[in-house]
């Protein structure tokens, strides 16, 4: 049991069994973690009732000095309060967004009589409309340039109608503004234009195009040709803006689509904005402090805090996986519907968003110099199938090969980002195991491999794959545990049914035969098997050659080594001439003649034995 701090123990009996939010604090009063609970007392007690807590949780518990709680009427209100407190305190143990406060928004001051458009990095409850956040600042600037080119929004800072200049500014004279400041444009006309700006920024340029086209036609019919020409030019710019946005068409109209990728302590969420079946843009967020958190918890943290805090979102949100607070988020968001599509066009959108998230995370990792090479899709597929928190960029696969209990060897192959890295291949001659015992042999090989890598300070793989079933897997896991590496993920792949066995899971995992993850595991397994069998055959051949040569009187280990080094094999020695052997150290013409004669006798004896032992009716080879 984990000891309960004194201040926390005094408060525990008095905590209510009702919804609320709890704040773990350190000795200085700083907020370490903010969490929500359906029943506060039960949730807080659970922190101290398990000895199997994650290292991140243990680190939190070691720093806890006090707890504060806030009781609210419903769990949905607790969810909203939790995310507000996280934004306010930014606790180090909560999942947080990287550079959350640096993303800009486009602000339309619709609460003013003559609204303005400004760029801001602060969200205020001041009645204005906020669009963003724009994680791609270039996309925001392009949108603003289009707005300035098409719409005559004022750029001055006057508090109209309370103050105004004496005459129009330069923007009026160059056609960028119609001078509402000196009442050359009515408030109704200006407000109608701002409504179209909001539509455009909200991802509906086609509706703006329709309205502009109608007004252009009306101006032409009333013989206002200058006004019609202005609207025609605006229409040309709008249509040019819309053309490249028609990337794909999907049933269902408007959606925000979330893609998710993670690698250890880093994760990325990519959001595709789809309006009227058209892909209009992409946003992204990087998240920190996700080590030890489930994918569902990370997704809930993003959707509940960041996504819902932005008003300009679609009424339908597509997410890749189910998460615990989905119903609460829907309840607190009001008009939004959250869906987890399993098939069809919406699932295809999820796949596209996940591809974007993987790409962005790889860019981030490469920029951080943590990866020399981009991971490919099978690696992410394997992570998802196995439920791993860390991306298995590097994996090793072990195999044992033996011939009737003799010449037992082991192999280890290394795959980096789904590609074999042959410089890291290793082979082992099993030294401590007699006879056929795959479990003991695996234990020895795994122990020797990882012990040496740790001694040499070399990086360890993210995943260990064993060629075999449950027994082989547990033998390898025991070996890892004995040297303090039980936290390294280990699995085994059985040949017959291609079943994947995992530690702590009683049932095997059966991946689709078309799964890229399964193909990656099969490739590693087959490569380890090939490498082990090749080494086993080489050892068996060497033993055969050694026994043949050492049976000849006068040939000891030194002379045998000289012969093999010079001629390479037993066949090479047999086909050599007397003169070639006589020039070697320790040999003479006499000893060379004797050696070749002895080898010829052993060859003829072996041939005669094969004829004698052949079954009736069998033909012996020439």
Q: What angle do CA 51, 56, 60 make, to 5 degrees?
A: 85
Tokens of 607: 């041939």
Consecutive H or E run containing 428: strand 426-429
Paired sense of beta strands 406-416 and 394-403, if any: antiparallel
pTM recorded for the entire structure: 0.52
* CA 38 to centroid of chain Cα atoms: 31
Nearest to 301 by CA among 328, 282, 281: 328
**479 and 442 in contact (C-beta within 8 Å)?**
yes
Separation between Cα atoms, residue 305 and residue 79, nearest integer Å: 9
Q: What is the pLDDT of residue 249?
A: 47
**49 and 110 in contact (C-beta within 8 Å)?**
no
pLDDT tens profile 44-94: 888 887 665 677 788 888 888 888 888 888 887 787 778 778 877 888 888
R_g of the chain, CA atoms, integer Å: 36
Domains by residue range for the chain, with CATH: 6-94 (3.40.1440.10), 102-245 (no CATH), 255-367 (3.30.420), 381-538 (3.30.420.340), 551-607 (1.10.150.20)
User: If you search the block for the tokens 């990866």, which residue do you land on?
Assistant: 371
Q: What is the pLDDT of residue 621?
A: 33
3-class DSSP state for residue 269? strand
* Sequence-separated contacts (24+) of 45-54 with Cβ below 8 Å: 45/12, 47/2, 48/1, 48/2, 48/3, 48/4, 49/1, 49/2, 50/2, 51/1, 51/2, 53/2, 54/292
Q: What is the pLDDT of residue 479?
A: 94
* CA 364 to centroid of chain Cα atoms: 11
Consecutive H or E run containing 271: strand 266-275
SS (H, E, C) 50-71: CCCCCHHHHHHHHHCCEEEEEE
Q: What is the pLDDT of residue 139?
A: 67
Q: What is the pLDDT of residue 226?
A: 81
3-class DSSP state for residue 341? coil
Q: C-alpha distances in angstroms, 56 versus 27, 204, 525?
A: 18, 45, 33
**129 and 116 in contact (C-beta within 8 Å)?**
no
Separation between Cα atoms, residue 226 and residue 229, nearest integer Å: 5
Low pLDDT (below 70) residues in the chain: 1-2, 50-53, 96-103, 132-133, 135-136, 139, 203, 237-253, 276-281, 289, 305-313, 332-335, 366-374, 405, 541-551, 553, 569-570, 602-622
């Amino acid at each position: 049991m984990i000891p309960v701090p004194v201040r926390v123990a005094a408060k525990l009996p008095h905590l209510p069994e009702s919804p609320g939010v709890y704040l773990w604090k350190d000795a200085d009063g700083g907020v370490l973690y903010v969490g929500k609970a359906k029943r506060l007392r039960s949730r807080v007690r659970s922190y101290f009732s398990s000895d199997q807590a994650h290292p991140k949780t243990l680190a939190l518990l070691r720093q806890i000095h006090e707890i504060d709680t806030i009781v609210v009427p419903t769990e949905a209100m607790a969810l909203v309060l939790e995310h507000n407190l996280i934004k306010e305190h930014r606790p180090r143990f909560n999942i947080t967004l990287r550079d959350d406060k640096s993303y800009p928004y486009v602000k339309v001051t619709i609460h003013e009589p003559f609204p303005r458009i400004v760029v801001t990095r602060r969200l205020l409850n001041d009645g204005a409309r906020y669009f963003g956040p724009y994680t791609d600042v270039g996309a925001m600037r392009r949108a603003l340039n289009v707005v300035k080119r098409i719409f005559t929004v004022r750029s001055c800072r006057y508090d109209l109608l309370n103050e105004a200049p004496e005459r129009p500014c330069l923007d009026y004279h160059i056609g960028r503004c119609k001078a509402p400041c000196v009442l050359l444009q009515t408030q109704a006309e200006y407000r109608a234009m701002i409504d179209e700006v909001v539509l455009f920024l909200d991802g509906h340029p086609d509706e703006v195009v329709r309205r502009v086209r109608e007004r252009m036609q009306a101006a032409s019919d009333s013989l206002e040709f200058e006004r019609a020409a202005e609207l025609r030019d605006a229409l040309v710019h709008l249509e040019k803006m819309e053309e490249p946005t028609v990337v794909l068409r999907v049933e269902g109209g408007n959606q925000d689509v979330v893609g998710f990728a993670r690698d250890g302590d880093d994760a990325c969420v990519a959001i595709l904005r789809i309006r009227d079946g058209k892909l209009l843009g992409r946003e992204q967020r990087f998240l920190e402090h996700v080590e030890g958190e489930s994918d569902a918890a990370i997704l809930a943290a993003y959707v509940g805090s960041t996504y819902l805090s932005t008003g300009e979102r679609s009424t339908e949100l597509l997410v890749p996986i189910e998460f615990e607070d989905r119903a609460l988020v829907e309840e607190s968001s009001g008009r939004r519907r959250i869906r987890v599509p399993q098939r069809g066009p919406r699932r295809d959108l999820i796949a596209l968003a996940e591809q974007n998230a993987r790409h962005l995370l790889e860019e981030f990792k490469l920029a951080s110099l943590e990866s020399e090479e981009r991971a490919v899709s099978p690696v992410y597929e394997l992570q998802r199938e196995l439920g791993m928190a860390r991306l298995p960029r590097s994996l090793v696969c072990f195999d044992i090969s033996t011939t009737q209990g003799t010449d037992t060897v082991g192999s280890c192959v290394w795959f980096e980002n789904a590609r074999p890295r042959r410089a890291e291949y290793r082979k082992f001659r099993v030294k401590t195991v007699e006879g056929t015992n795959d479990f003991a042999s695996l234990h020895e090989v795994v122990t020797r491999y990882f012990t040496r890598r740790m001694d040499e300070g070399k990086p360890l793989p993210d995943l260990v794959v064993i060629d075999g079933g449950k027994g082989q897997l547990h033998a390898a896991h025991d070996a890892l545990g004995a040297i303090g590496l039980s936290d390294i993920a280990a699995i085994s792949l059985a040949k017959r049914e291609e079943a994947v066995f995992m530690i702590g899971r009683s049932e095997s995992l059966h991946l689709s035969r078309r799964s890229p993850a399964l193909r990656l595991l099969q490739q590693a397994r087959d490569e380890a098997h090939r490498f082990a069998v090749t080494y086993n055959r080489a050892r068996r051949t060497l033993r055969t050659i050694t026994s043949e040569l050492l049976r000849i009187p006068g040939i000891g280990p030194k002379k045998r080594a000289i012969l093999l080094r010079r001629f390479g094999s037993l066949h090479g020695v047999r086909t050599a001439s007397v003169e070639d052997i006589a020039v070697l150290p320790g040999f003479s013409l006499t000893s060379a003649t004797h050696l070749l004669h002895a080898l010829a006798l052993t060859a003829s004896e072996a041939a005669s034995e094969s004829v004698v032992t052949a079954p009736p009716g069998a033909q012996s080879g020439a």
